[in-house]
Structure 1
């Protein structure tokens, strides 16, 4: 029988936070060191106590964090090489730009050799014992991921379906032979994941020391070209060659009038249920190690998901298929009673989806930009907010609030102005202030909104594949006194730590 679950501790009091993916932080050598600490210092000065990121996994060439090479691994491009300098694993004349991938890989190879040789004097930094503990704690996924990446390096630009059949189909003898021949690459790949984890945990400790908690994001689906699907094809609806029989997407909605074809393979939930969803339990355990609060992206897919036949890939050809629902969530909370979940409940959400969310007392989301359809009952308007839910000015999939406001027709813009009281403050500050005023326990603002950026600051446009995920913060964009202005609002509306 389902038990009612209390709200995560993070949401036990009023807070304000910022939405910013780590790839947006400026840094020449990686962001999980000095650059990340500077951002956390800014947050602390501004009275912001929640940092929300997008998924942290290594990406494909399109840079989308929602199409990662792994549901567990960290993006090695975030590793700060300067931290390795302080640890004595690289030398100053070896440091390279974060954008030079080939030279970064070479530098990781050198650092790996020095780390395992034990001949270099290190002032501080990770130890061999910590590496071994990391390897053992993550053996359920680390070996498959590193092997997947090593094969990708051997066959660059190829989806795993294009690999030689023995590698594609995971012939045990051939994989053992490959592993022996590429032992150095595999060790370097394990070392990179260890460094990511070590630096992320240090950054998380730094955040906690400043009263800041970290808020992560789990995409409900994973990329087909990923270590997860290659290693466990039986958990997905694939044909005998490994091609998806069906892919995920959504029907037409606010974000895309034609619907969206995501291309992710869909789960065989029946097979997953046979071992009580252990693949998902491992995935959740990884995220619990990284974050204090976790959002399930596309929560409605647990109740029903939009399945598109691969043979007829237009989103309109899809249909709703029941998801695992309460059986899955029961398993999650039986395994992790204090699992700190937030449900992304945006888009086409029926009463049944909301009933599932409320059954587990999961916080949902409201987005102020979505409030102005002319109905005073719109749940995204601040007077309809609920205490347990989160309020956003916009999300990573929205235009910036200023860009959104500038794109409105005259009638809607007049409605927006009236709702926010014809504020003398320029956009987006009336929206930010309203989010902070909301009864919702947590108010989240994308950094681009705090900076007052127009559409040139947009991070992602759903349904498109170009010019996304590229926006970078320039600290010179921060107006003088910005942190103080934000702190005044956090104090005024009871959100100051």
Structure 2
């Protein structure tokens, strides 16, 4: 079935609190998507952000971002009152997230709500029991970070950094209240997210979530499971992740994430990855896996190098991982981010997995009619066509920042006299393609310029800040997107476009919250090497 989607992260939703929340504006956007005939809402990772504010560098693969917890919903539950938050200035520009202010004030408000929370709440206790395979470690990790002024775990005193049992037990006693605080925040996040996801699903909208292949060095995942990564005896990375030099980046990309010890993962039957994908599949309807090519082979850079110029390619787990996932979890709905340096071996892995890959139209106009990104050269409908991703410039910005040769080819290909006509033409081309799913950033439908760019890879500062206004989502735009879906046969079945009754919405929200609370951990199994 042909579908369409819009890519916009929760942080970009309209909000009076400086950043998008899981409140009324999120439900408003879901209604907007339904009115557009759009069936997919794609978001970025929901994880807590750390230094640099990137959702791809998080403290945990399981936790949700407390910034997204909606104050007004907590108010309805009796945990907050308007005076607790209404006089706070969350930022000066309604189009940008001011992360410094969010960090300073958001947790202050949430601590006020926490002071009124009853920890004997039945739903809360059930949630804690269901999430015990990760939640206690995460809450302790965050409490210890606070106690160490935000320093990474590998700079803590050795007994805590190396997780000596006596040091951990003492920390649990010393920071019990702070541990409870971070635990309650996750309960509220999962509760609100479960309700929103249920509302979307009942209105015919599925959620495409995103997980990065690697985890941050300063994360609870590395702190608790050092054996899963290529670390030395002091738990310092031996090699780190990145990409080799190319025409776009002469010194390559140095990401700095610790690499996986794939031999160890294979011995455990890939238990950690299975649990990670199980959790992600509870949060989302479909999971996009970032840097899919890293499962075929990955680039290893010696730790301590300043650039990615020195490194080597090493073999990844390949199909062994995805076969183990299928045996444990069945057929999951997964999208493979297969961009970048793609070899025949990577294409073979994608084909063997059966996952749809990605076709980014901004990459199609390099003056080569044989480009695999041009719709005429798609070899399968089992793919996702994008105008651009969160790492791309907006279409309007792209026409002003691309080489003249690229724009000339695009104009010739799309039969446009003016470059100003290209953004609308590329949207139509994406929707007209044979790809089962066509996706555009919300910024492209809003015709945003460079100010709408979400992220510029390999840069710091100014990223992940884009926000929308309520006035952006007007009936005129909804009609335009609906007509695009209608023209290119991407409308949902009529029954799915009908508004869902409030009774069904509440029932679905309750069921989703219960399901989120009931996520069970995978049992670890050891295979003989």
Provide the TM-score with structure 2 as the length reference. 0.87
Q: Decide whether aligned partners of structure 1 residues 178 and 443 sit closer, same or farther in structure 2, where only a CA change above 3 A counts.
A: same
How big is the shift at 1:90? 1.3
Does structure 2 retain, via aligned residues, the 8 Å contact 1:423–1:430? no
TM-superposed deviation, 1:314: 2.0
Residue 73 of structure 2 corresponds to: 83
- Structure 1 CA distance for aligned equivalents of residues 248 and 480 of structure 2: 32
| Matched residues, number | 476
Alignment of 1:44-59 (within 5 A): 44-59=34-49
Which stretches in structure 2 are left out of the alignment for 5+ residues? 91-100, 493-529
Q: Is the 8 A contact 2:416 2:422 kept in 1?
A: no
**1:317 CA drift (Å):** 0.5
Moved more, 250-259 or 437-446: 250-259
| Structure 1: segments with no counterpart, 5+ residues | 1-12, 119-127
Inter-partner Cα distance in structure 2 for 1:375 and 1:152: 51
Match of 2:288, SS?
Answer: strand
- What secondary structure, in the 3-state scheme, does the structure 2 residue paired with 1:315 have? coil
- Cα RMSD after superposing both structures: 1.7
Give the distance between the partners of 2:245 and 2:102, measured in 1 at CA: 40
Separation in 2, partners of 1:157, 1:86: 32
TM, length-normalised to structure 1: 0.92
Superposed, which structure 2 residues align to 1:165-244 within 5 Å? 165-244=158-237
SS in 2 for 1:272: helix
Larger deviation: 475-484 or 487-496?
475-484
* Distance (Å, rounded) in 2 between the aligned partners of 1:247 and 1:189: 30
Instruction: State the secondary structure of the residue aligned to 2:458.
Output: coil
Q: Specify the alignment match of 2:155 in structure 1.
A: 162
**1:402 counterpart = 2:396:** yes
SS at match of 1:261: strand
- Secondary structure of the corresponding residue to residue 156 of structure 1: coil
Does the C-alpha gap of structure 1 residues 249 and 442 become closer, same or farther in structure 2, counting only changes over 3 Å? Answer: same
- Taking the aligned partners of 1:489 and 1:253, their CA distance within structure 2 comes to 37
Check if 1:26 corresponds to 2:14: yes
Q: In structure 2, do the counterparts of structure 1 residues 172 and 437 end up closer, same or farther at CA, with 3 Å as the change threshold?
A: same
User: In structure 2, how many angstroms separate the alpha carbons of the residues matched to 1:46 and 1:100?
Assistant: 32
CA distance in 1, matches of 2:82, 2:425: 47
Measure the CA separation in 2 of the matches of 1:426 and 1:475.
26
Question: Which one of the candidate residues 443, 449, 454 is aligned to 1:448?
Answer: 443
- Report how far residue 480 of structure 1 moved: 6.5
Q: Tell whether the 8 Å contact from 2:79 to 2:116 is kept in structure 1 after alignment.
A: yes
Find out whether 1:270 has 2:258 as its counterpart.
no
Query: Of residues 414, 433, 436 in structure 1, which corresponds to 2:431?
Result: 436
- Do structure 1's residue 422 and structure 2's residue 416 form an aligned pair? yes
Q: 2:406 aligns with which of 407, 412, 434?
A: 412
SS in structure 1 at match of 2:118: helix
Which residue is 1:247 aligned to? 240
Deviation at 1:129, TM superposition (A): 2.2
Choose which of 475, 485, 489 in structure 1 pairs with 2:480.
485
1:322-337 → structure 2 map (5 Å cutoff)? 322-337=315-330
Cα deviation for residue 117 of structure 1 reads: 6.0
Using the TM superposition, give the Cα deviation of residue 432 of structure 1 relative to its aligned residue in structure 2, in angstroms: 0.5
Partner of 1:8: none
